[in-house]
Structure 1
Amino acid sequence: MTTTENRKMSTLDGFVRPAKCSEARAKNISDRVTNMIVQDLRPIRTVECDGFRNLMKYLEPGYVLPSRKQFTADINLKHATYKNHLKGKLREEAVFISLTTDLWTSIATESYITVTAHYIDNNWVLQAFVLETLPFPERHTGINIAQKLKEMVGEWEILDTVRMVSHDQGSNMKAAMEILHNELNWQNLHCTAHCLQLCILAGFKINSIDRLLAAAKKIVTHFHHSVVASEALKQKQIEMNMPGKKLINSCVTRWNSTYEMLDRLLKLRWPVTAVLSDSKVTKPSNRYLDLKSEQWKLVEELVEVLENFSTATTFLSYEENVSMSAAFPILHGIIDQLVPDVSDSGVIKQFKEIVSSEISERFELNSLHAAHPMLLTAIIDPRFKNLTLGRYTESEQDSLKKGIVELMEMYKVYEEHEHGSQTSHEPSPSDVKRPKRLTALDKLLGEEAAVAEPSLSSELEKYLTEPPPPRRDNPLVWWQLNAGRFKVVSYVARRLLCIPATTTSSERVFSTGLTVTKLRSNLKPKNVYALIFLNQNLSKLSIH
């Protein structure tokens, strides 16, 4: 055999007999496949699909793809590893933790409860993690929900650091929070976005608006169900030099969806009208779908009003934002915008009056007590302190300041506990002897507050006289730079500014519908938990 023939045979052997994949490389590939399943929310059965197996065989011929069972085990092992890592992180960094929680049902009609944790770490960075997504087959009573939350917090060993729970306005959730407040002294807040949604829905009950929304949904449904109409709408947009967009349908449980539906419909008014009036596309029986001119005018007015709500809920729902401190100024800003204008139609004036009244009533803006977290958080945010206090009389301001000082009084107890036990966690009030002056906990329990120490009041006053930073600035950056100057006030800031204004973090877990899909409807609950935990937390946690 010639040299040339030997060379050809050697080259051919390289294709026929794939190079061996080292054990280390095989492990790295398998780990990346596991991460792909987690991060892209792919079904675990993907590893058994012919297309994927053929792709891996082409890319790495010497790699033997593990079984579906092995990848499931790897996911659960990774989950256990990262969960332990997060437990340690919470012990080291979280002095105060605020939770959000929500209940949901999967496509497989299995009930789950999700809990997220929010805190400010030692570097004044807001952290947010999904702690648990567990099956909840029991009846969703207040007692059962409270018990489940206590079990979760006990499992994570954060009982002494949880101070607040944000939740929806379900009667069972309210009952659970009352139990937890009585037993563990946890405070609780309703989701700001949920409350705003209920306020808007009250305005939507006005007859003319209710009829308009029903008519708008019929138009959207018609285009979604008719391929001919949908294609004609695309063509009309091209003819009118408009960017191709689809109509959006509203969903009663999704924030801002009615605004999005009306806004998109208004933007596509002329293409929609053109299609509905085209006898070649629309049957005579469907010509009635187009809105009347006065209805289009009402759409225009509603979109202008609802835009403020969309902006507010979007901002308050960002997980990375310090959000609760902005809730009070934003709510008052919305009410200011809802003052009827002379150019408003009678319907819009009525809508504004109803929604404004609902906001004041549901958020109790005219009767908030001095210890309400919404108020205290706004004052402890350097951007909004003057704006918030400026809405109250001098005597009311004194009461609000006392609310802050009473939280400041806990600092000495916290500092003594920290130095005595070498832990950064604030002690539970039951674990320490109460000082003679009463603490914030005493106020929550209904006891009268004592007169604050002058030194604490003077530090608070010094903070309040500081010029506020620009509204767009991150208040945590300000506190990182000024915590040394306002040692005790910063303790309160770290306690309050981690509170989220909405339950978006826990709702985001299931609202996308990507974790338990039709392709994953047979997922066992423990695998659902592992996948959600890793999908939501993997990029935030680094294990070296």
Structure 2
Amino acid sequence: MNCWTSNTTTSYMSVTCHYITDFKLRSNLLDCFVVAESHTSQNLAQELSRVAKEWGIQDKIAACVTDNASNIVKAVNDILKWNHVRCFAHLLNLTVRSSVHQTEIQALILKVKSIAEYVRRSTVASAKLREMQLQMGQVQLRMKQDVATRWNSTYFMMQRAIEIKEPLVSTMALLNPLLPALTPEEWDITKEVCDILKPFEEVTVEMSSERFVTGSKAILMARGLQRIVAHRQRNPSTHEPVKGMVNFLAADLEKRFGQIERVRVLAEATLLDPRFKKHAFVIERNAEETVSRVVGAATHAATPTLPSTEEEEGGTTVNPPSEPVPQFWADFEERVTTLRPGVQNPSTGAMLEIKGFLAEPLIPRKADPLEWWRVRALYVFNIRLHCQFGQG
């Protein structure tokens, strides 16, 4: 779900459902409406409950993904008792926005922003920039403007400034507006900042996709970003503002994503993704705990419901009582029951199934995990069908 305020100060709330059917990922907007009342936890919970009831999905909600606002977290966790997952992209946005608001970096961004605003607002400056690009044999590109609520727009603005640096510097020198120019050192810092933020932009784009499953990628992406930032710490920049930004990113990533392997729904999705499995985990204990939970869930799903001794209608006995087992055979019977054909302990079967899955080679990273499970489901179904009717 998501809440936002329009330019007319009207408050809206939208609820989107992501689900898998026929081994395909689907997304549907369930509702988008004006929230007239205050955004208290109770009011937000009532609206979410209403939408879930209208669509008849109260008992089908695996997780509710929202931002980190305390009111919605309380509504989902404490009032609705749903499994809450913090939006990965939102947490990443908070991390990056905070890092670029460090004093020295922010001052640099404001310089680039003032130049971008001037060039975009002035028809003379825009025409001169195009002319300079043409003279230098470059593609004519416009300056980009950042948006306060989107960190990646700041990245795009700075990246574009780097791309058209030479014609932009020439244009500003010719027009000589009353704007602070970037020093050579500041241009170097701008390029370094863009290089640092590029992986964060790539992750944001990947996690915002609605065509492919993304939950199983969260752990890998968080750990990947942490490794990239750690590498930059080990090979620090010569510019103090950049070093400060990198150190801030490292600390904030650890604060927001340090325990991501313990987020159950993400950990289990990662383990069951045939592209990643246990290899996505950095901490072995977290991987083993996830395996245990998955085995437990598989055991529960495989445990048959004990049949009734009487038919629902007629009261006839379905399974007549078997002969009593002599006590001296009891221990042996208990130990060998699961070894007989057609009889298996659900826990043992689940463990063997999961171990077999984990032992198989990983499929390519760009492969569709849902397609893999679709093929596997058909294969298992056909094997069982053949065994059941004696055709295999």
TM range (shorter): 0.7 to 0.9
Quote the offset at 1:214 in angstroms: 1.3
Greater RCO structure (CA 8 Å; 6+ sep): 1
Quote the offset at 1:208 in angstroms: 1.6
Residue in 2 aligned with 1:342? 235
- Residue pair 2:16, 2:29 contacting (<8 A) in 1 also: yes
What secondary structure sits across from 2:62 in the alignment? strand
Quote the offset at 1:108 in angstroms: 3.8
Quote the offset at 1:341 in angstroms: 4.6
Cα distance 1:481–1:107, how it changes in 2: closer, same or farther (>3 A)? same
Residue in 2 aligned with 1:301? 192
What secondary structure sits across from 1:257 in the alignment? helix
Residue in 1 aligned with 2:335? none
Cα distance 1:171–1:136, how it changes in 2: closer, same or farther (>3 A)? same
Residue in 2 aligned with 1:229? 125
- Rounded Cα–Cα distance in structure 1 between residues aligned with 2:49 and 2:380: 34
**Structure 2 unpaired stretches of 5+:** 307-344, 382-392
1:404-423 superposed matches below 5 A: 404-412=294-302
Quote the offset at 1:314 in angstroms: 0.2
- Rounded Cα–Cα distance in structure 2 between residues aligned with 1:477 and 1:164: 23
Of 304, 323, 330 in structure 1, the residue corresponding to residue 221 of structure 2 is: 330
- Rounded Cα–Cα distance in structure 2 between residues aligned with 1:486 and 1:375: 25
What secondary structure sits across from 1:160 in the alignment? coil
Residue in 2 aligned with 1:244? 140
Letter in 2 for 1:113: M
Letter in 2 for 1:198: L
Letter in 2 for 1:309: F
Q: Deviations over 1:34-93 (max 9, x none)?
A: xxxxxxxxxxxxxxxxxxxxxxxxxxxxxxxxxxxxxxxxxxxxxxxxxxxxxxxxxxxx
Q: Deviations over 1:312-371 (max 9, x none)?
A: 110111100110101111111111111225362333233222112211211233x743x6
Residue in 1 aligned with 2:5? 105
Letter in 1 for 2:251: S
What secondary structure sits across from 1:383 in the alignment? coil
Residue in 1 aligned with 2:106? 210
- Rounded Cα–Cα distance in structure 1 between residues aligned with 2:305 and 2:18: 22
Quote the offset at 1:392 in angstroms: 2.5
Cα root mean square deviation, aligned: 2.3
Of 357, 375, 379 in structure 2, the residue corresponding to residue 481 of structure 1 is: 375
Residue in 2 aligned with 1:321? 212
Letter in 1 for 2:161: L
Residue in 1 aligned with 2:116? 220
Residue in 1 aligned with 2:18? 118
Residue in 1 aligned with 2:255? 361
Letter in 2 for 1:328: I
Letter in 2 for 1:465: A
**Percent identity, aligned pairs only?**
26
- Residue pair 1:341, 1:349 contacting (<8 A) in 2 also: no
Q: Say whether 1:403 aligns with 2:303.
A: no
- Rounded Cα–Cα distance in structure 1 between residues aligned with 2:288 and 2:134: 62
**Count of matched residue pairs:** 340
- Rounded Cα–Cα distance in structure 1 between residues aligned with 2:275 and 2:237: 33
1:221-300 superposed matches below 5 A: 221-278=117-174, 281-283=175-177, 285-286=178-179, 288=180, 290-300=181-191
- Rounded Cα–Cα distance in structure 2 between residues aligned with 1:181 and 1:379: 27
Q: Say whether 1:140 aligns with 2:39.
A: yes
Residue in 1 aligned with 2:347? 453
- Rounded Cα–Cα distance in structure 1 between residues aligned with 2:207 and 2:91: 12
TM-score, with structure 1 as normaliser: 0.59
Cα distance 1:227–1:392, how it changes in 2: closer, same or farther (>3 A)? same
Letter in 2 for 1:119: Y
1:378-389 superposed matches below 5 A: 378-389=270-281
Q: Say whether 1:373 aligns with 2:265.
A: yes
Cα distance 1:198–1:414, how it changes in 2: closer, same or farther (>3 A)? farther
TM-score, with structure 2 as normaliser: 0.81
Give the 4+ runs in structure 1 shifted more than 6 A: 413-416
Quote the offset at 1:217 in angstroms: 1.0
Residue in 2 aligned with 1:64? none
What secondary structure sits across from 1:162 in the alignment? coil
Residue in 1 aligned with 2:388? none
Cα distance 1:254–1:234, how it changes in 2: closer, same or farther (>3 A)? same
- Residue pair 1:167, 1:191 contacting (<8 A) in 2 also: yes
**Structure 1 unpaired stretches of 5+:** 1-100, 417-450, 488-544
Residue in 2 aligned with 1:532? none
Quote the offset at 1:485 in angstroms: 5.7
- Residue pair 2:49, 2:80 contacting (<8 A) in 1 also: no
- Residue pair 2:145, 2:157 contacting (<8 A) in 1 also: yes
- Residue pair 1:115, 1:130 contacting (<8 A) in 2 also: yes
1:148-167 superposed matches below 5 A: 148-167=47-66
- Rounded Cα–Cα distance in structure 2 between residues aligned with 1:236 and 1:402: 64
Quote the offset at 1:142 in angstroms: 1.0
What secondary structure sits across from 1:320 in the alignment? coil
Residue in 1 aligned with 2:390? none
Q: Say whether 1:177 aligns with 2:70.
A: no
- Residue pair 2:236, 2:243 contacting (<8 A) in 1 also: no
Q: Deviations over 1:445-470 (max 9, x none)?
A: xxxxxx98222111111111111101
- Residue pair 1:193, 1:255 contacting (<8 A) in 2 also: no
What secondary structure sits across from 2:287 in the alignment? helix
- Residue pair 1:168, 1:190 contacting (<8 A) in 2 also: yes
- Rounded Cα–Cα distance in structure 1 between residues aligned with 2:50 and 2:223: 38
What secondary structure sits across from 1:132 in the alignment? strand
- Rounded Cα–Cα distance in structure 1 between residues aligned with 2:296 and 2:250: 32
Cα distance 1:357–1:483, how it changes in 2: closer, same or farther (>3 A)? farther
- Residue pair 1:405, 1:452 contacting (<8 A) in 2 also: no
Letter in 1 for 2:347: E
- Rounded Cα–Cα distance in structure 2 between residues aligned with 1:478 and 1:341: 39
Of 79, 87, 105 in structure 2, the residue corresponding to residue 191 of structure 1 is: 87
Letter in 2 for 1:254: R
Cα distance 1:137–1:415, how it changes in 2: closer, same or farther (>3 A)? farther
Q: Deviations over 1:81-140 (max 9, x none)?
A: xxxxxxxxxxxxxxxxxxxx111233443222111111110x201111111112210111
What secondary structure sits across from 1:249 in the alignment? coil
